[in-house]
A = this chain, B = another copy of it.
Amino acid sequence: MNNKTLKSAELKQTKKRILILSVLEKASSALTAEEIAEITSQDIKMSISTIYRALNALAEKNVVTKTLYQDGKTYYEINNHTHKHTLICTLCNEKVPINTCPLEALEDHLSQETGYTITGHSLEFFGVCPKCSIVKDEK
């Protein structure tokens, strides 16, 4: 599938790009370039700038999405063209995917009110996961 993806994105198929894509496909949440580097290092040695360049190329072709989180890092994930957001534990950094997005109705409303053509949004939730919540109480 990755070779098709790369071909249709008009990008050359290289071992490294194929591997990066397969890592993103297996991931259950968005990953940083650094995390991808760590995972891929078991299979192929590649420079971090190669990873950034591959991810940027893929993001430009809309194969992956690119989002800057509040931790200052950019996260990448396969663009399945469905709306997804994430809930992040501010203590242990665990990430839970969220499948509903209640913002389309608001976007319509906003569009009418401001005259803007709304092209997208970014949304992140923060909280404390049950495990960290227990650890915290014990202190």
Contact = CB atoms under 8 A, between A and B. Distances in A.
A47 interface: no
Contact of A129 (B72, B103, B114, B128): B114
B102 A106 contact: yes
Contacts of A127: 111, 114, 116-120
A60 interface: no
Size category, A interface = 35 or more
Contacts of A123: 103, 121-124
Interface of A: 67-70, 72, 87, 89-90, 96, 98, 100, 102-103, 105-107, 110-111, 114-130, 133
Contacts of A110: 87, 98, 125
A121 B128 contact: no
A124 B130 CA distance: 27
Contacts of A67: 70
A111 B116 CA distance: 32
Nearest to A88: B116
